[in-house]
Amino acid sequence: MPLDYEALKAYRIPQTEMALTKRDTMLYALGIGLGADPTDERQLRFVYEKNLLAVPTMATLIAAPHAWIRKANVGSSGKSVHAGISFRLHRPIPVEGSFRSENSVDEVVDKGEGKAALVTTRRRVFSEQDDALIFEILSTSMQRGDGGFGGPSTSSAPAHEVPGSPPDMVVDMPTLPQQGLIYRLSGDYNPLHADPEHARSNGFPRPILHGLCTYGIAGHALLRALCDYEPARLVAMSARFSRPVYPGDTLQIQIWQRGDTAHFRCLVPARDNEVVLDFGHVELA
């Protein structure tokens, strides 16, 4: 059954609700490497309940409608790989509370017969306490083998290519061998990130790190380098996933600052500078 483009565009993704605790907020921060220096008071604000703050990239996991396309009956194979993510904050993320998301299909791109479909969803997340819009997320998945349905072949989303000049800043971010096992406790229990046998059956020598964990680690680097750990200054961030990361890798985040915006990319120096996040872009307050 081929992908039904019209049915997918019209599909109403169910509203998703989520309760967030301070423990969840601290656990997410630990999962992306905050607290690596437990004497750094700037980092402690994200992992210790005293004067607790939320990391902006935590937006990616709040009230997310996981695996919705597998239940949608629109002809998709359901074989999905995360391809890109962006968020825009309208106000700082509360460290606890109840949230609901309103979700819709924003764009579907046809990469051709036998290739993939790129499906982008828009998630608008509201506080249940006062019904205020907290943030918006655009999330793109690569639906393997779903191409060839006759839809548009190019995306309308801007491509933020990094400059050709040397970066203005470089931040090295080591990851722990158990990084994926910590991060998965924030809600993504895909065995690809924990089970060696499952990883091998999917073509990887060992479990890989969650793409959103890599994205969060890059956000941590940007928060440190550009915002002095003040989360209200990091208001928007986007990137595309290009290659997998393995727990224990050291990531290098290259940053080009341009006033109140910046470009970035993330690579693994130990693997011939393999780029794992590309087309990175941030907006600063």
Question: pTM of the entire structure?
Answer: 0.95
Known active-site residue 188: yes
Return d(Cα 146, Cα 111) in angstroms, integer.
9
Which of the following is catalytic: 110, 146, 188, 249?
A: 188
- Selected catalytic residue, list 160, 193, 210, 281: 193
Alpha helices of the chain — where are they, by DSSP H? 5-10, 22-31, 41-47, 179-183, 196-201, 211-227
Half-sphere exposure of 274 toward its Cβ, with a 13 Å CA cutoff? Answer: 12
| Catalytic residue flag (residue 193) | yes
Q: What's the pLDDT at 75?
A: 87
Query: Is 229:42 a contact under the CB 8 Å cutoff?
Result: yes
pLDDT tens track of the chain, all 285 residues? 578 999 999 999 999 999 999 999 999 999 999 999 999 999 999 999 999 999 999 999 999 998 898 888 898 887 888 999 999 999 999 999 999 999 999 999 999 998 999 999 999 999 999 999 999 999 999 998 899 998 888 888 888 999 999 999 999 999 999 999 999 999 999 999 999 999 999 899 999 999 999 999 999 999 999 999 999 999 999 999 999 999 999 999 999 999 999 999 999 999 999 999 999 999 999
